[in-house]
Structure formats: C-alpha cells, structure tokens
Amino acid sequence: MAATEEDNTVREPLDLIRLSLDEKVYVKLKGERELRGKLHAYDQHLNMILGDVEETVTSVEIDEETFEEIIKTNKRMVPYLFVRGDGVILVSPPLRS
C-alpha cells in the first residue's frame, strides 16, 4: 500500500479527526454550544484549536405568563479558540464526495 493511501485510511476514531485537519468542522459541546471552524490541531483528549470560529449558544427560557418556551440563539465570531476535550459531545468532519 502506498504512503498516501495509508494516510487516508481510517482505522481508529481519531483518524477521522486527523483527516479533517485544516478543514472546517462542526463541534457540538455540552451546554447547548455549537462551533463551526477550521481545525488547526487536536490531541487524544479531543482538546482542539479552531480558527475562524462561529460559536452558537442556544438557550431556552420559559415565559412566566404563557409558560411557553422561548428559544434564543446567540452567535459570535472568534478568530482562534481552544476547546477543552471534556466538553466535546460530537465532532463532524466536512462532507466528502
């Protein structure tokens, strides 16, 4: 098997993350937080450094009069972000054709 074929092989879960380096990924975190950004680095604990990050925080409030749920989302852009791995629920690599 050629070296380039081995580099593109997914044998372990972290191989999928490795193949997503320098590409835009989606990261879901605890606390209703979502990130979309370019993956610059990661480790075995899923600590990550993301660049050009769009962070979305979703919160649910209850209207005291009608008792209806009010869903609010706040978005912000961050040039670089360190993500601690113990807060990561899901990492989705970019779609490949």
Q: Cα separation of 96 and 56, whole Å?
A: 24
The reported pTM is 0.83
Residue with tokens 């604990």: 45
The span from the CA of 44 to the CA of 16, in Å, is 12
Q: List the chain pLDDT tens, one digit each, 97 residues.
A: 444 555 778 888 888 899 999 999 999 999 999 999 999 999 999 999 999 999 999 999 988 888 898 999 999 999 999 999 999 999 998 876 6
pLDDT value for 18: 92
Q: Cα–Cα distances in Å, from 67 out to 2, 32, 73?
A: 62, 21, 19
